C-alpha cells in the first residue's frame, strides 16, 4: 500500500505563510486577493487563478503547487533497493518513517531513527551495528532505548542537538556501513540539529533526510524557515537527481522529483 503524501497544497501554503511571518491580511494585500479568499485557500478550497497569484508571493513554485492542488502528482516508486528496508509506524495521530540500510555482502547494517516501534527492524536478518539520528524530535527517537538495548549498537546524533544515549558528532563527519559510505550533511531549519545521511555503495544513492524534506513539501514547526530553505537547497538539491530521498514522513521520492515537484524548491 502506498503511503499518502504528508502534506497537501494548503499545508504547503500554511507553512510558507508561517515561515514568512505573513498573516492573512498581509497575504491579501500582496496578492490582490481578498482576505476571505486567502482564508478559503488555506482551508483547502482550491482555486486555479488565485493559487497562481499566491504562489510567487510566497516564494513557491507555481506549477508544483498547482499539481498538489489538483492532486495530480505523486512521486514515482523508485522500486526495491537491495540493502534498504523502510518502516512506517503509527505515532499519535500520524505515522513516522525509519530505515535500515545494510551492506548486501556482509549484512552489516545501520538503523536510521527508530520510528514509534523498532520491532520490524529487529526482525531483519542483518546485524545492526550503528544507529543514526536525523534529529531529536520525539516521534523519531521514541524507541531508541529499546533499539540500543536489543542491538548493543551505539547511537550518533548532531552535536548541535544532543540526545541522551547518543554520541554527538560534528557536521561533515563520515561513517561506514560495511563497504557503504555514509556522508553527513547539515539540513537544519526544521530542527536545530537536522542531519541528512547520504549513503553510497548501493544500486542508487540514498539520502535519509528526517523532516528536512518530504515528497512535495518539508517539515513544519521550524526553528528557522530561511535556514530550512537554504540548507535544503545547498545540501539536498545539489545531490544527483537519481538519489532516493527517504523522508521522516510520507512516501519515498527522489531529488529529481523534488526539483520539479516540490513547491519549496522548484521554480
pLDDT at 173 over 70: yes
Q: What is the CATH number of the domain that holds 157?
A: 3.60.15.10
Residues 180, 122 share a domain: yes
Q: What is the mean pLDDT of residues 222-231?
A: 94
Residues 101, 56 share a domain: no
Residues 21, 104 share a domain: no
State the pLDDT at residue 1. Answer: 60
Residues 214, 142 share a domain: yes
Per the domain annotation, does 4 fall within a domain? no
* Domain encompassing residue 176: 84-261
Per the domain annotation, does 120 fall within a domain? yes
User: How does pLDDT run across 85-104, given as a tens digit for each residue?
Assistant: 999 999 999 999 999 999 99
Residues 66, 88 share a domain: no
State the pLDDT at residue 241. Answer: 97
Per the domain annotation, does 233 fall within a domain? yes
Per the domain annotation, does 2 fall within a domain? no
pLDDT at 221 over 90: no
Q: What is the mean pLDDT of residues 14-30?
A: 96
Residues 176, 208 share a domain: yes
Residues 14, 98 share a domain: no
Strands 166-169 and 174-177: unpaired
In order of 34, 38, 259, the CA distances from 267 in angstroms are 25, 22, 8
Residues 220, 147 share a domain: yes
Per the domain annotation, does 116 fall within a domain? yes
Question: Which has more pLDDT, 114 or 78?
Answer: 114
In order of 110, 114, 149, 180, 184, the CA distances from 170 in angstroms are 19, 21, 25, 20, 9
Per the domain annotation, does 212 fall within a domain? yes
Per the domain annotation, does 266 fall within a domain? no
Question: Across all residues in the chain, what is the average pLDDT?
Answer: 96
Residues 149, 32 share a domain: no
Per the domain annotation, does 79 fall within a domain? no
Task: Give the predicted TM-score (pTM) of the model.
Answer: 0.97
Place 158 in a pLDDT band, splitting at 50, 70 and 90. very high
State the pLDDT at residue 16. Answer: 96
Amino acid at each position: 500500500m502506498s503511503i499518502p503524501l504528508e502534506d497537501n497544497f494548503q499545508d504547503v501554503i500554511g507553512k510558507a505563510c508561517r515561515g514568512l511571518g505573513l498573516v492573512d491580511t498581509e497575504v491579501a494585500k500582496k496578492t490582490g486577493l481578498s482576505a476571505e479568499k486567502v482564508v478559503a485557500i488555506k482551508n483547502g478550497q482550491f482555486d486555479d487563478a488565485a493559487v497562481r497569484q499566491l504562489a510567487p508571493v510566497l516564494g513557491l513554485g507555481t506549477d508544483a503547487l498547482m499539481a498538489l492542488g489538483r492532486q495530480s502528482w505523486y512521486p514515482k516508486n523508485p522500486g526495491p533497493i537491495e540493502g534498504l528496508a523502510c518502516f512506517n509506524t503509527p505515532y499519535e495521530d500520524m505515522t513516522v518513517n525509519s530505515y535500515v540500510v545494510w551492506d548486501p555482502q556482509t549484512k552489516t547494517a545501520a538503523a536510521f531513527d527508530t520510528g514509534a516501534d523498532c520491532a520490524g527492524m529487529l526482525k531483519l536478518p542483518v546485524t545492526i551495528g550503528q544507529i543514526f539520528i536525523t534529529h531529536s524530535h520525539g516521534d523519531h527517537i521514541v524507541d531508541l532505548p529499546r533499539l540500543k538495548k536489543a542491538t548493543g549498537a551505539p547511537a550518533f546524533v548532531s552535536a548541535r542537538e544532543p540526545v541522551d544515549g547518543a554520541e554527538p558528532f560534528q557536521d561533515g563527519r563520515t561513517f561506514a556501513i560495511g563497504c557503504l559510505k555514509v556522508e553527513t550533511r547539515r539540513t537544519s531549519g526544521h530542527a536545530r540539529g537536522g542531519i541528512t545521511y547520504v549513503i553510497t555503495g548501493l544500486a542508487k544513492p540514498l539520502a535519509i533526510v528526517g523532516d528536512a524534506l518530504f515528497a512535495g513539501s518539508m517539515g513544519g514547526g521550524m526553528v528557522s524557515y530561511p535556514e530550512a530553505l537554504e540548507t535544503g537547497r545547498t545540501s539536498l538539491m545539489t545531490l544527483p537527481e537519481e538519489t532516493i530521498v527517504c523522508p521522516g514522513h510520507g512516501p519515498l521520492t527522489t531529488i529529481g522529483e523534488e526539483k520539479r515537484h516540490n513547491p519549496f524548491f522548484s521554480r
